[in-house]
Each structure stands twice: as structure tokens, then as C-alpha cells.
């Protein structure tokens, strides 16, 4: 039986860690990408503790930095591995106003632009893997029902980086709406060219993870 190679981004904690753990149990080769390499390597060791045959690697990736995204993609490509599964999971939520190193509002930069750029950089490898193996590729964007609660005009392209109009929860919704629009358009284009890859957006529900570090919501949940 051919073993799929799974690539999982944002796997050092929360939903990402659990997904990486289960993918490893299913005999996928998992790449855990993380901004904090100490946390990523600790996650790797924790999975290996219970699953000694797991195939895991950890690579540096800061989604808020387009330079880091490019470096990660180059490092992954250099490994010459196939790529069947891309899970765009990592993100931040309800954070105070700040700009990324590229001068983009941080939630939009991290939650959307980083994933958008990474997906584009790795798409050719996914197409080739699907073609050569005959195994359907999967791209999954972790989004949120919060996409329904963004700015009245939708995505504020003309005011993206204005601090005076920034609302943390609406900015988060804006980034999640962008995730869905991205998935829909990539899916449309792949179908049009006959690529054997599906693209889906997933709302995982409300779970108390580190994502809520900027919010007082749900802190009493058990």
C-alpha cells in the first residue's frame, strides 16, 4: 500500500497538534511547521513518545512573514518529498492592532496572506504528486463561522492597515472570509484544469486552545 505524505502546518499545539498526531497514526509522513521551533520539536517528541514509528519532521515557518513563508517552501521543496495533504491551520484571533513585518494588518497577514502564499508556492508539487501517484490531493483551510461577522463592506482592501477603523473581531472575520474565498477560487481553478486535488474550508467549532489568548471568551469551558 502506498503511504501518503501529509504536510501539516501549525501543528505545535491545539487542533493542529491533534491533527498531526492522528495523521501520524495513519502512517502519514507529517511535517509540523511552526514559528516557535522549540514548541514544534516538543510536539514532535510528544507524538513520538506514544507512536515510536511515526514519521515526523519540524520546519520553521512564520506565517506573518512572507520571507519566512518563501524560505519554508524552499526548504520543503529541497527535501524532494511528495505532497498529498496541505492543511492551513495556524492563526491568531482578536489580537490588538499591529502590523506584520511586511506592513500588513496582523490577523489578515497571518490568517490569510501567509496561507495564500504558501499554497501557491506548493501547488505545483501537489499537482505533480497527484498526477504521479494517482492519489487525490487535499487542501484544507481551517476557517470559522466568524466569516459571517466581518466589516459591513466585507474585506476592507482600501482600509486594511488603518488603525482608526480596526475592530479586532471584525478583522478576524475578514481574514476568515478571505480563507473561504481563497479555497473556493483555488478549487474552481483546479477543477477547470482537471487537477486531481480537492479544496475545502472547515469550521472546527469552538475549542478552548491558545487561539483564545487575546479573548476572555470561553475561559470557563471544561
pLDDT digits (tens, 9 = 90+) for 86-109: 999 978 999 999 999 999 999 999
Residues recorded for the chain: 222
Residue 222 inside a domain? The answer is no
pLDDT recorded at residue 204: 82
Mean pLDDT of 166-190: 97
pLDDT tier at 206 (50, 70, 90 boundaries)? low
Phi, psi of 96 (to 5 degrees): -60, 160
On whether residue 134 sits in a domain, the answer given is: yes
- Does any domain span residue 158? yes
CATH of the domain at 90: 3.40.50.720
As a whole number, mean pLDDT of residues 208-222 equals 43
The number of distinct structural domains making up the chain is 1
d(CA 200, CA 10): 17
Dump pLDDT digits (tens) for 3-33. 556 666 666 778 889 999 999 999 999 999 9
| Nearest residue to 21 (alpha-carbon basis) of 3, 43, 47, 56 | 47
* Three-class SS state of 33: strand
- Domain presence at residue 219: no
Range of the domain at 101: 5-214
pLDDT above 60 (res 2): no
Q: How many percent of the chain have pLDDT more than 70?
A: 87
Q: Give the per-residue pLDDT at 9.
A: 62
In this prediction, residues 53-59 reach a mean pLDDT of 95
Q: Is the dihedral of CA 36, 39, 41, 43 positive or negative?
A: negative
Does residue 151 carry a catalytic annotation?
Answer: no
| DSSP reduced 3-state for 20 | helix
Distance CA 165, CA 178 (A): 18
128: nearest Cα among 195, 28, 69, 77 = 195
Over pLDDT 90: what percentage of the chain? 81
The predicted model gives 61-76 an average pLDDT of 97
The mean pLDDT value of the chain amounts to 89
What are the tens digits of pLDDT across the range 192-201?
A: 999 999 999 9
Among 7, 166, 172, 212, the active-site one is 166
Q: For 160-187, what is the mean pLDDT?
A: 96
In a domain, 74, yes or no: yes
Q: For residue 157, tell me if it sits in a domain.
A: yes
Assess if residue 53 is contained within a domain. yes
Q: Is the pLDDT reported for residue 216 higher than 80? A: no
Q: What is the pLDDT of residue 130?
A: 97
* 184 assigned to some structural domain: yes
Task: Give yes or no for a contact between 38 and 13, defined as CB atoms under 8 angstroms apart.
Answer: no
Amino acid at each position: 500500500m502506498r503511504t501518503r505524505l501529509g504536510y501539516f502546518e501549525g501543528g505545535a499545539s491545539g487542533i493542529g497538534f491533534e491533527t498531526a498526531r492522528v495523521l501520524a497514526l495513519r502512517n502519514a509522513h507529517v511535517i509540523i511547521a511552526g514559528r516557535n521551533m522549540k514548541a514544534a520539536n516538543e510536539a514532535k517528541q510528544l507524538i513520538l513518545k506514544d507512536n515510536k514509528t511515526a514519521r515526523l519532521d519540524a520546519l520553521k515557518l512564520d506565517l506573518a512573514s512572507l520571507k519566512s513563508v518563501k524560505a519554508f517552501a524552499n526548504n520543503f521543496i529541497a527535501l524532494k518529498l511528495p505532497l498529498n495533504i496541505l492543511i492551513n491551520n495556524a492563526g491568531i484571533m482578536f489580537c490588538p492592532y499591529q502590523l506584520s513585518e511586511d506592513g500588513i494588518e496582523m490577523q489578515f497577514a497571518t490568517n490569510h496572506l501567509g496561507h495564500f502564499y504558501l499554497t501557491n508556492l506548493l501547488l505545483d508539487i501537489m499537482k505533480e504528486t497527484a498526477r504521479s501517484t494517482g492519489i487525490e490531493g487535499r487542501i484544507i483551510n481551517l476557517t470559522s463561522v466568524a466569516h459571517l461577522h466581518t466589516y459591513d463592506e466585507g474585506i476592507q482592501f482600501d482600509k486594511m492597515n488603518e488603525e482608526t477603523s480596526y475592530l479586532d473581531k471584525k478583522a478576524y472575520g475578514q481574514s476568515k472570509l478571505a480563507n473561504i474565498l481563497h479555497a473556493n477560487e483555488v478549487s474552481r481553478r483546479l477543477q477547470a484544469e482537471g487537477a486531481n486535488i480537492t479544496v475545502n474550508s472547515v469550521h472546527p467549532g469552538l475549542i478552548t486552545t491558545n487561539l483564545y489568548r487575546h479573548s476572555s471568551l470561553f475561559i470557563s469551558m471544561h
